[in-house]
Chains A and B, each alone.
Chain A
Amino acid sequence: MRVKYVLNEVLVGLWRNVTMTVAMIITMSVSLTMLGASVLMYMQVDQMKDFYYDKIEVSIFLAENADEGQKAAINQAIDSSPLVEKKTHETKEQAFERFKLLWKDSPDFVNAINAESLPESYRVQLKDPEKYGEFAKQIEGLPGIRQIIDQRTLLDKVFNIFNSIQLMSLVVAAVMAFAALLLVGNTIQVAAYSKRREVAVMKLVGASNWFIQAPFVLEAVVAGLIGAILGFVALFIGKVVLLDNKLQALTTILTPIPDGNVWLMLPLLAGVGALVSAVTAWVTLRFYLKV
């Protein structure tokens, strides 16, 4: 009976002030959509890093005039470095083969080059691509090296763009969340005011605090959950419409977002929405009801 009472109070409460409830749900869902998008983007960048970092190499191009002793020293330095995962050596001939393959559509260009004009190089995969700086320091002083190129710096530019988009959506999510909090607080105040007589009697006859507060807190939680579900739907539609259709070209660069990750957003958004609403409602009641 108490459960029924509380649930009934929740529904009545949500209906009593329906415009405010709708405003609360909309801001909540927009905020949660942005949060979901941001988290998805974060997971995506992580996944792409895993994917690309496995493939990136540090190229150490040798100088034209490097002698055998210098080459051996460089080889030795790479082999003895604990940071190195794998090393391949590319001779001038191999470099030329690769060059021919790369430019096979422009035979004139290929003909103008011969193997001698391409540098000999070592291709090194690091155990942890983030440790490039450390590795570079170990070998850059050695004589006979012309240039060290880290492919990661190129990729990082791409990731930086993703990171800033992600940050932006986080900021929007935070601002909207703030607006949502104010609306939750206001809705709870209105609800508490319209039930002030009941609350006064309940306090007088000794109803427990949780029993007095539960309908209000649950009211906010239900609104938060509805907001979360709407936010999730928006996210899902956004993913299908934008990534799977309109921006499909991008998916050749982007690794695809697994549906599992998108579904993962449902419990996340629901949890965040419900928790944030509940805490806001509870704090508001502390100030407003003084139970």
Chain B
Amino acid sequence: MIQLENVTKTYPKASRPSLDNVSVGIEKGEFVFFIGPSGSGKSTIIKLLLHEVAPTRGKVVVNAKDVTTLRSWKVPHFRRSIGCVFQDFRLLPNRTAYENVAFALEVIGKTKAVARRVVPEVLELVGLGGKEHRYPHELSGGEQQRVAVARAFVNRPLILLADEPTGNLDPDTSIEIMRLLDRINRTGTTVVMVTHDSNIVNQMRRRVIEIESGRIVRDQARGVYG
């Protein structure tokens, strides 16, 4: 599903690479944590998988597509198979929960009729039934992140990338979001989550890949934060 082969990424003007000769494979349906201190290079992995940045050396394969040689005009279509959730939610403040999710469908060419059928369904799934018409500022942080998850999942992506999704949430809310991601993972969606929330990693007992200074220092099938 996801394949990194000897990937090195050096940002311009950086003294050392963010990722240094990293190789890792992730199977379909896996739930993987990338952990490590700030600046260790774990967010760079998300950016590589989204084709936001290109690797300096090495090969990145996602959904059997070689991202490194992907033509730039094909990137939008490629991204439709990937859902993405961030620490800062990235919701549109002037749109309701429903409209935020529907927006993601409409801008990729889905009709309003499709949105009317699919959006309430996915909002129900993330536990926001009855709050469809609230604006982001009328929702709690956890609820806002649920809207973001709904938006990422509404298109039924093969992969869900989560970049510190619990970074702005309190521990209880964080656990609820993790339950949600777990539920999405059980539908067969591959989940890749970058975090430094040790609590969550320890509770979930899933595959843990630890990165330090751009190198993989640990890859454990049912790991803890350590």
Interface on A for B, CB 8 Å cutoff? 1-2, 5, 197-198, 200-209, 211-212
Contact = CB atoms under 8 A, between A and B. Distances in A.
Tell me the dominant secondary structure on chain A's binding face: helix
Contacts of A1: 106, 111-112
B151 interface: yes
Interface in B79-102: 79-80, 82, 84, 90, 92-93
Contacts of B108: 205-208
Interface in B177-218: none
Nearest to A202: B107
A2 B110 CA distance: 9
A197 B77 CA distance: 20
Interface in B144-171: 151, 155
Contacts of B75: 206
A14 to B, nearest CB: 18
Contacts of A2: 106, 109
15 contacts: A197-B90, A197-B92, A201-B90, A203-B79, A204-B84, A204-B90, A205-B104, A205-B107, A205-B151, A205-B155, A206-B75, A206-B76, A206-B78, A206-B108, A211-B107
Interface centre among A198, A202, A204, A206 (most CB of B within 10 A): A206
A203 B75 CA distance: 9
A211 B107 CA distance: 7
Contacts of B79: 203-206
B92 A201 contact: yes
B135 interface: no
A203 B92 CA distance: 14
A206 B77 contact: yes
Highest count of chain B CB atoms <10 Å: which of A2, A5, A205:
A205
A212 B112 CA distance: 18
A208 to B, nearest CB: 5
Given A204-B79, A204-B90, 5 more contacts: A201-B90, A202-B107, A203-B79, A208-B77, A211-B107
Q: Which 4 A-B pairs have the closest CB atoms?
A: A206-B79, A206-B80, A207-B107, A205-B104
A190 B84 CA distance: 27
A1 B108 CA distance: 12
A200 B80 contact: no
Contacts of A207: 76, 107-108
B110 to A, nearest CB: 9
B11 interface: no
Nearest to B92: A197
Interface in B102-153: 103-104, 106-109, 111-112, 151
Contacts of A202: 107
Nearest to A207: B107
A224 B32 CA distance: 52
Contacts of B84: 204
A246 to B, nearest CB: 54
Nearest to B151: A205
Contacts of A197: 90, 92-93
B112 A201 contact: no
Contacts of A201: 90, 92, 103-104, 107, 151
A1 B115 CA distance: 12
Contacts of B93: 197
